[in-house]
Amino acid sequence: MDRFEQLTICQYILNMLQARALQSVRQLTEVVDFLDARSEDIGLRLPPSLSELANSGYDDRPKADRSSRKKVHGALVKLLEAAVAELPKTLPGMLERNIRQLCKALGLEEVDQQILGIMLRCDCYEPLEEILNSCYRKFDSVSSTLAVLLGVKRDFINSRLKAGAPLMSLGIVEKLDQRSRHFVHSYEVGSAFTDAIYASEGDAEDICHSITGNPLQANLRWSDFEHMAFTREKLERFLTQAAGKRLKGVNILIYGPPGTGKTEFCKTLAQRLKMELYAVAESDSGGEEPTRRERISSYNLCQRLFANNGGKLLLFDEIDDLFDMSPFAGLFGISPKGRSSSKVYMNRMLEENPVPTFWIINNVQLLDESIVRRMSLAIEMPNPPANMRKKLWRRIIRSQNINLGNRDMEQLCQVDVSPAIAKSATIYASAMDNTLDDFRFAAFGLIKAINGGKEKAEVGSGGANQPYMESLTNCSTNLEELTSALIKSPSRSFSLCLSGPPGTGKTAYVRHLANKLDMPVLVKRASDLLDMYVGQNERNIAAAFAEARDTESFLVFDEADSLLSDRRNAVRSWEVSQVNEMLTWMECHPLPFACTTNLMDRLDQASLRRFTIKCQFTYLSAAQVAQACRHFLGIRVPMETLGGLTSLTPGDFAVVKRKAEILGKLRDQQYLLNMLREEMAAKEGVANAKGIGFLSTCG
């Protein structure tokens, strides 16, 4: 124990004596015995006369007791005053320097520093703990005990230990068992702070680094986020300006499905800005999951530590769990149990923070509108498009030393997964046989789990992904001329309505057109957008258009009749609002988009006026059927035998070919023709069933 610490403990004891906290001879004798036994520890040598006086002072007579007490008390005060007189001239030791550095960095007041000092010394020095417990048992109050030791009023101490005061709100001091008979069991200094103070050598940067940990490091490149180029450039410029002007209340909300790269984007952006990004309380001091209170305290602490230190950013990740419990939901404007929120606290948290902060959430619907309004920016993080997924998959697979052929790699890149799922899938595949099936098995299992057990259709299976063949497409519009005109047109703000039976090549044509326009395709099925919750359909529709705009993709709505149903037949209000949302976005979308439908007659009349071009696809002609037999099945069929094959599509031929391959019938011409007739009969059966059901309902 250095000299400054010895004298500080003497000062505490002197304050206790001067406040008459120790009144009986017995209590005073305990102090004398303590000082005598710990003389080497506290560097204070007691004269033998003081020990003799204390030990001879016990008397059953009240007057004798008062006389002895006065003598012992006076001798102790005189001894300690002489020692404490050295304190102003004594250089502080390492512990005191570290306490001062931490309090200065946090902008704490002197009384906070003194309270922190007592609690830390009580933890360090057993002798002090004994004296504090003696005083605490007398007052039965932490604030009274601290007031006596520091020589201040009790109300002043109470104000520094209330919930919103810096020591408590920053998590520096934690309240324990208020019923304990021991001072050290009532409050304690958080272990992160004790570790930082004990380990440092008086350097403020050292202490802060010990508390906050290392800044986060980027794992991806700036080019990995080209699919949101417009957004990232805006955000980069905004944060550059905000940092230069030292703006307060800079908060960026980033939301989107799990694993889309929200956190990695923040890391990469920080690296791009040459700024340090720190995570808010991802674990507690013991390496365990932090509580909500600990996360809020950590956030407040980081804001204080970095308030006057430019070049810093904060990341509050996975904030979803902050809204599970009403006391903390209230801090953010959410009241799941009907409690009103603390607007003052919320405003201070989101409007006065000096350090720009990223707030990451998966389900943005958990946020109250009042919270979103106070964000500087709100950015949705989409899954990367196919071209970016290809780069991502290649890099991840290369990092795992996995070899895939070009064909397998091309198919793998069609799997619409987030960066996190892609990385996780490689772990399974690398432990197995590194095949395409291994990657698919792992990736789709994870996707299903994220979707709550809902299967996601695989890209690459089914007729919708057959390559476009103009000669096998029967359309009311000359598609070759249309494609040429659209490529040459200076305007990209056009829309297509492609109607016709399933498998006639509607989606295949859109993919072909998008390829000619050098645009990635973004396909949204009605099943992807329709949701059970009120208002979510509209949000999903808006998000689809926004994603297409941000990624400059050719947007395709498959099964559009489910999204643009005739409002005259609507029976629920959300059916009308859903169509209205679609129509609004169709009018203002700046890029090409297409809607495909098998049920043109069900589309809302107003929607038809919004389409620039309408194309009707139908079944193959007899000549096209003969060509399809040669192309898909490798058989030549005389034209006169094709009279009955009138309602076939390229998709039907693809299905028959796969079935024949499985059954080993690819060389049996008669069997192939019978299967084509079965496909026709199946469609006619479905049509008849629909007709019967309709008539029976009307009857």
- Per the rule left: phi > 0, alpha: psi between -120 and 50, beta: everything else, 160 is alpha
Enumerate the β-bridge partners of residue 521.
554
Of 84-88, 226-230, 627-631, the poorest mean pLDDT is in 226-230
pLDDT greater at residue 99 or residue 461: 99
Place of tokens 């990367």: 384
| Residues 429, 554: Cα–Cα separation, whole Å | 32
Rank 394-403, 611-620, 635-644 by mean pLDDT and report only the highest: 611-620
Please count the other Cβ atoms lying within 10 Å of the Cβ belonging to residue 213: 13
Place of tokens 């204390």: 54
Q: What is the pLDDT of residues 19-62, one digit of tens each?
A: 876 667 777 777 888 788 888 888 888 887 777 766 665 554 45
**What integer pLDDT is reported at residue 694 of this predicted model?**
37
Rank 340-349, 571-580, 591-600 by mean pLDDT and report only the highest: 591-600
Please count the other Cβ atoms lying within 10 Å of the Cβ belonging to residue 532: 6
| Residues 550, 260: Cα–Cα separation, whole Å | 15
Q: Report which residue type is found at 202.
A: G
| Residue 526 dihedral angles phi and psi, to the nearest 5° | -60, -35
Of 242-246, 302-306, 529-533, the poorest mean pLDDT is in 529-533
Of 124-128, 303-307, 353-357, 617-621, the poorest mean pLDDT is in 124-128
| SS3 (DSSP) at 315 | strand
| Residues 133, 183: Cα–Cα separation, whole Å | 5
Of 276-290, 360-374, 549-563, the poorest mean pLDDT is in 276-290
To the nearest 10°, report the CA torsion of 406, 412, 413, 414: 120
Q: Please check whether residue 149 is in contact with residue 156, taking contact to mean a CB–CB distance below 8 angstroms.
A: no
Enumerate the β-bridge partners of residue 175.
187
**What integer pLDDT is reported at residue 333 of this predicted model?**
43
**What integer pLDDT is reported at residue 344 of this predicted model?**
58
Q: Please check whether residue 382 is in contact with residue 260, taking contact to mean a CB–CB distance below 8 angstroms.
A: yes
**What integer pLDDT is reported at residue 408 of this predicted model?**
64
| Residue 556 dihedral angles phi and psi, to the nearest 5° | -125, 120
Q: What is the pLDDT of residues 587-611, one digit of tens each?
A: 888 999 999 998 888 887 777 888 8
* Residue among 20, 110, 118, 120 nearest 74 (CA): 20
Residue 412's pLDDT band, with cuts at 50, 70 and 90, is low
| Residues 595, 507: Cα–Cα separation, whole Å | 9
**What integer pLDDT is reported at residue 695 of this predicted model?**
38
Beta-strand runs (E) in 559-659: 593-597, 613-618
Q: Please check whether residue 131 is in contact with residue 16, taking contact to mean a CB–CB distance below 8 angstroms.
A: yes
* Residue among 144, 152, 16, 36 nearest 77 (CA): 16
Of 95-109, 421-435, 588-602, the poorest mean pLDDT is in 421-435
Q: Does an H or E element contain 358, and which?
A: strand 357-361
Q: What is the secondary structure of 159-188 as a DSSP string?
A: HHSSTTSHHHHTTSEEE--TT-SSGGGTEE
Pairing, β 251-255 against β 357-361? parallel
Pairing, β 187-189 against β 251-255? unpaired
Check whether domain 470-616 has CATH 3.40.50.300, yes or no: yes
Q: Please check whether residue 223 is in contact with residue 361, taking contact to mean a CB–CB distance below 8 angstroms.
A: no
| Residues 143, 135: Cα–Cα separation, whole Å | 11
Rounded to an integer, the average pLDDT of 311-328 is 71
pLDDT above 70 covers a percentage of the chain that reads 80
**What integer pLDDT is reported at residue 169 of this predicted model?**
84
**What integer pLDDT is reported at residue 330 of this predicted model?**
43
Residue 228's pLDDT band, with cuts at 50, 70 and 90, is confident
Q: Report which residue type is found at 603.
A: L
Q: Please check whether residue 495 is in contact with residue 607, taking contact to mean a CB–CB distance below 8 angstroms.
A: no
CA 433, distance to chain mean position in Å, is 33
pLDDT above 90 covers a percentage of the chain that reads 22
Residue 116's pLDDT band, with cuts at 50, 70 and 90, is very high
Look up the CATH number of domain 218-322+346-380.
Answer: 3.40.50.300
Q: What is the pLDDT of residues 150-191, one digit of tens each?
A: 888 888 888 998 888 889 888 888 887 666 666 767 788 888
Residue 561 has pLDDT above 60, yes or no: yes
Q: What is the secondary structure of 222-270 as a DSSP string?
A: GGGGGGGHHHHHHHHHHHHHHHHHT-S--EEEEE-STTSSHHHHHHHHH
Residue 12 has pLDDT above 70, yes or no: yes
Quickly list H helices, 355-435.
Answer: 369-373, 386-399, 406-412, 419-431
Residue 449's pLDDT band, with cuts at 50, 70 and 90, is confident
Rounded to an integer, the average pLDDT of 227-235 is 88
**The model's pTM:** 0.63
